[in-house]
Amino acid sequence: MSTHTPSGMEHHPDILALREHAERVTSTTAGQGTEALAVCAGLFLAISPWVVGFSGFTGLAISNLVLGIAYAVLMAGYGSAFGRTHARAWACVAIGAWTIIAPWAVNGGAHVRRTILTNVITGGVMTCLALAAVGMVFAGMTARRR
């Protein structure tokens, strides 16, 4: 009979407490609402070239499609595992920021007003939602240390 106790970092009491906190946060109405809105924002970004009507800009259309799907998938599971929560949410902050600058970076000088408005507004919303996801977990971590 073995009496070996796990000694890895994943079993440290602080890590276990942070996992519990992340699970509690993501099961709240605010956490679930943030996740649902983020998934919707990502899916809108993915279909925006065809809905808004700028699918003629192939590079931007592909960028929006791929990054919109990636954002939706990452944010759909941001609370499922504490170890990846921060990385997923921060990756989504980067996707949101890229979405804002993509009309200029991908299309060079060729852009129209609707591509800029769509990407800037959607990217801003996506960035705010991802930062909210990061903030929910960090708020509990700092409150716990006091």
pLDDT in tens, 68-91: 999 999 988 765 555 556 678 889
| Structural domain harbouring 72 | 30-145
Model confidence at 41, pLDDT cuts 50, 70, 90, reads: very high
Q: Is position 35 within any domain? A: yes
Residue 19 lies in a domain: no
Is 64 inside any structural domain?
Answer: yes
Does residue 90 lie in a domain region? yes
pTM here? 0.78
Number of domains in the chain: 1
Type of residue found at 8: G
